[in-house]
């Protein structure tokens, strides 16, 4: 007999998007019949969507909140029945209490060392979710929780002053908005660390970065989730989110001006032409300039509904190419010092035509890691695998990533 769970008076949201509410949510756990697992199903009864029900469909996970403040995650869901807009059904992989069971959460690591622990990430999710509900209810933000999370992030980042991040590892969770805020805060703090900010500055930077996109709560879902290109008018509206964010944070007690500036200025460009105020250079606060780098980098390296993520290498190339002089060179320099361009385990091409595997990064130069040559310039596999510290061989340098599929390199090589 299938096990059924019912929740009543439920709010539905995803990241910074409020989707709507329903009178009842029913979860029907799929039975196991012999060796076969039947799919689990769910039904939203009395569903009221803020916009179209389609807004539900492009997401992978949904969050549900009941009146008593309990939160649940419905992961990997698919809507299968919308014949009646108020009663919508579908199948999903999992239904769990959100903050007790978090199967997909990984720690943020350098590949070797844990930087941001699971516990802190879960706390950060919880604080973002509370912020959503406070803003939706028309209140200011209770900064206590965000402040605590920011302090923990700062502590954890400061514990590993020499760590070089491998950004392949930083992705930890499916929902873009939740993950994005934590990633942007972590990346911003690592840049702050490289710029020798004080602990107090770091804490404000963390709060600002965690809340940098809070103004998106005022942007209609139809614009936020739009699949195609925004019309001029929609884009204008989208461009108001930094101002909205600043307003929300100004209404909230205990948030410093420099933290609010992160929300207001993270889309300004160093050479001018950004929004909302078209500021230039140091007219933009340092925290705004830091968050701009972290925000774009994380967006480029994340899968979005409309495009596939770039590799860290490609994204770093875009950021540093000068193609688009959005960023403060001093901040970019600090960013490059903290993040590996060639993560351990990746294959790289060298200027003499050989191919190598990256073993570990050198804190003093992210473009000169310790490598192991795996194929010579003619493409022949090396019998003797030679380990080379590129810091000691100035004539040898990396020209870019190598394509493993063309190399016939197997997992055993790693
Ligand atoms: Fe933004």
- Measure the CA angle with vertex 294, ends 292 and 299; round to 5°: 95
Q: Are residues 256 and 287 in the same domain?
A: yes
Higher pLDDT, 378 or 201: 201
pTM recorded for the entire structure = 0.74
Q: Final residue of a domain: which of 338, 362, 379?
A: 338
| 103 in a structural domain | no
| 382 in a structural domain | yes
**Stretch among 131-145, 301-315, 360-374 having the lowest mean pLDDT:** 301-315
User: For the segment 211-244, what is each residue's pLDDT rounded down to a tens digit?
Assistant: 999 998 888 877 877 777 889 999 999 999 999 9
Q: Are residues 185 and 135 in the same domain?
A: yes
Tell me the CA–centroid distance for residue 83 and ligand 1, in Å. Answer: 35
Tell me the CA–centroid distance for residue 300 and ligand 1, in Å. Answer: 13
Q: Are residues 246 and 194 in the same domain?
A: yes
| 209 in a structural domain | yes
Q: Final residue of a domain: which of 318, 338, 358?
A: 338
Tell me the CA–centroid distance for residue 85 and ligand 1, in Å. Answer: 32
Q: In 3-state terms, what secondary structure has residue 328?
A: coil
Structure tokens at 191: 């840049």
Tally of domains in the chain: 3
| 172 in a structural domain | yes
Q: Are residues 351 and 305 in the same domain?
A: no
Q: Are residues 271 and 188 in the same domain?
A: yes
Q: Are residues 135 and 63 in the same domain?
A: no
Q: Are residues 88 and 128 in the same domain?
A: no
Categorize the per-residue pLDDT at 384 as very low, low, confident or very high, splitting at 50, 70 and 90.
Answer: confident
Residue 3 · residue 29 · CB < 8 Å: yes
Tell me the CA–centroid distance for residue 194 and ligand 1, in Å. Answer: 23
What are the DSSP calls for 371-390, one per residue? EEEEE-TTSPEEEEEEEEEG
131 contacts: CB under 8 Å, gap ≥ 6: 141, 146, 211, 214
Neighbours of ion ligand 1 (CB under 5 A): 213
Q: Are residues 329 and 386 in the same domain?
A: no
Tell me the CA–centroid distance for residue 70 and ligand 1, in Å. Answer: 28
Q: Final residue of a domain: which of 97, 122, 157?
A: 97
Tell me the CA–centroid distance for residue 263 and ligand 1, in Å. Answer: 8
Tell me the CA–centroid distance for residue 225 and ligand 1, in Å. Answer: 14
According to the model, what pLDDT value does residue 239 have? 94
Q: Are residues 289 and 323 in the same domain?
A: yes
Q: Are residues 221 and 301 in the same domain?
A: yes
Q: Are residues 259 and 134 in the same domain?
A: yes
| 102 in a structural domain | no
Tell me the CA–centroid distance for residue 91 and ligand 1, in Å. Answer: 32
Q: In 3-state terms, what secondary structure has residue 28?
A: strand
For 30-53, what is the mean pLDDT?
86
Structure tokens at 182: 């934590």
| 17 in a structural domain | yes
Long-range contacts of 403-412 (CB under 8 A, 24+ apart): 403/347, 404/347, 407/347, 407/355, 407/374, 407/375, 407/379, 408/381, 409/347, 409/357, 409/374, 409/375
| 362-391 CB burial, b ≥16 within 10 A, e <16 | eeeebebbbbebbbeeeeeeeeeeeebebe
Q: Are residues 209 and 357 in the same domain?
A: no
| 147 in a structural domain | yes
Domain extent, residue 176, equals 108-338
Question: In this structure, what CATH number is given to the domain that contains residue 307?
Answer: 1.10.3210.10
């Amino acid at each position: 007999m299938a096990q059924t769970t019912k929740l009543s008076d439920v709010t539905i949201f995803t990241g910074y998007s409020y989707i709507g509410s329903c009178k009842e949510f029913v979860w029907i756990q799929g039975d196991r019949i012999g060796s076969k697992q039947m799919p689990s199903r769910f039904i939203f009864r009395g569903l009221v969507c803020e916009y179209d029900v389609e807004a539900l469909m492009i997401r992978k996970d949904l969050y549900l909140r009941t009146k008593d403040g309990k939160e649940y995650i419905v992961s990997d869901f698919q809507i299968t029945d919308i014949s009646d807009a108020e009663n919508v059904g579908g199948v999903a992989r999992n239904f769990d209490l959100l903050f007790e069971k978090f199967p997909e959460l990984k720690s943020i690591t350098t590949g070797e060392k844990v930087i941001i622990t699971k516990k802190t990430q879960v706390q950060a999710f919880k604080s973002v979710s509370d912020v959503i509900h406070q803003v939706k209810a028309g209140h200011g933000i209770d900064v206590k929780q965000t402040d605590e999370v920011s302090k923990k992030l700062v502590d954890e980042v400061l514990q590993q002053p020499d760590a070089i991040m491998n950004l392949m590892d930083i992705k930890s969770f499916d929902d873009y908005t939740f993950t994005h805020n934590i990633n942007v805060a972590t990346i911003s703090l690592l840049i702050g660390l490289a710029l020798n900010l004080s602990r107090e500055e770091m804490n404000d930077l963390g709060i600002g970065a965690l809340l940098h996109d809070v103004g998106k709560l005022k942007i209609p879902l139809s614009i936020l989730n739009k699949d195609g290109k925004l019309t001029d008018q929609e884009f204008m509206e989208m461009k108001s989110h930094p101002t909205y964010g600043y307003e929300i944070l100004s209404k909230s007690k205990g948030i410093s001006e420099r933290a609010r500036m992160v929300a207001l200025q993270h889309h300004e460009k160093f050479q001018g032409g950004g929004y909302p105020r078209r500021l230039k250079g140091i007219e933009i606060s340092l925290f705004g300039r830091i968050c701009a780098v972290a925000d774009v980098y994380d967006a480029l390296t994340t899968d979005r509904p409309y495009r596939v993520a770039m590799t860290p290498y490609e994204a770093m190339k875009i950021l540093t190419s000068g193609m688009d002089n959005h960023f403060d060179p001093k901040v970019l320099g600090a960013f490059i010092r903290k993040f590996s361009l060639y993560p351990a385990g990746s294959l790289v091409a060298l200027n003499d035509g050989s191919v190598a595997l990256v073993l570990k990064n050198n804190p003093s130069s992210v473009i000169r890691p310790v490598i192991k040559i795996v194929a010579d310039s003619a493409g022949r596999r090396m019998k003797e695998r030679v380990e080379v510290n590129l810091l000691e061989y100035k004539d040898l340098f990396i020209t870019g990533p190598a394509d493993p599929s063309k190399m016939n390199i197997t997992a055993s090589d790693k």
